[in-house]
Chain A
């Protein structure tokens, strides 16, 4: 199994631009989580999906952030417009059941100039 796949691994963009992060979970995992990691706040849950349905998006910082999961093998996290304070590492993780071991992707390091 290839594990959780994220792309791109690094993204550098300018303030105001749209950014799209992508995630492919492990096949058969019904739960998909998006996290953000910063030096100041550590790891934070942004949103998670169960069977492609968003269950809890209370961690999404503001309306500039949106996430979709059109099918069981693909999810996107979009930031529009991006701001310098969005600079962070964004992780996607998947899990077969809630509370079970989560398998993390390699992360996307986002830098907004």
Chain B
């Protein structure tokens, strides 16, 4: 079992829709990172959170430590949101990120 698991693997939405990507993680992970990778390949860190909720523009990330679950929400989705979204857990033991498989999001106009 992977230490970080994401769902869904692929997601297609219409412009304007509310989008949720889920991530569950195992014991030993102290913080969750959400990354965005555009078709050009560059990786951008969106959020790093160890508790609660963070918001940046139309993006919201939440984490439930008891359930070991995090979600990334996109409100009023737009075609420019089309990208791969990667959840990564920070392993305290080993001081390293362990990555989920990514969610390919396509937002159609």
Binding site for B on A (CB under 8 A): 33, 42-45, 48, 55-56, 89, 91, 93, 98-104, 106-107, 109
Q: Of A42, A48, A99, which contacts B99 at CB under 8 A?
A: A42
How close is A108's CB to chain B, nearest CB, in angstroms? Answer: 10
| CB–CB A104/B33 < 8 A | no
Chain A residue with Cβ nearest B43: A104
Count the A-B residue pairs with Cβ separation under 8 angstroms: how many? 49
Residues of B within 8 A of A93 (CB): 43
CA distance A89 to B43 in the complex (A): 11
List 16 A-B residue pairs with CB atoms under 8 Å apart, sorted by A's residue number: A33-B97, A42-B101, A43-B88, A43-B99, A44-B99, A45-B96, A56-B94, A56-B95, A89-B41, A93-B43, A98-B90, A101-B48, A102-B33, A104-B35, A104-B44, A107-B43
Binding site for A on B (CB under 8 A): 30-31, 33, 35, 41-45, 48, 86, 88, 90, 92, 94-102
How close is A40's CB to chain B, nearest CB, in angstroms? Answer: 11
| CB–CB B95/A98 < 8 A | yes
| CB–CB B95/A99 < 8 A | yes
Q: Of A56, A98, A101, A107, which contacts B33 at CB under 8 A?
A: A101
Known: A42-B102, A43-B86. A102 touches B41 (CB 8 A): no
Residues of A within 8 A of B30 (CB): 99
- What 10 A-B pairs come out closest when comparing CB atoms? A104-B43, A43-B99, A98-B95, A99-B90, A101-B45, A101-B48, A45-B96, A106-B42, A107-B41, A42-B101
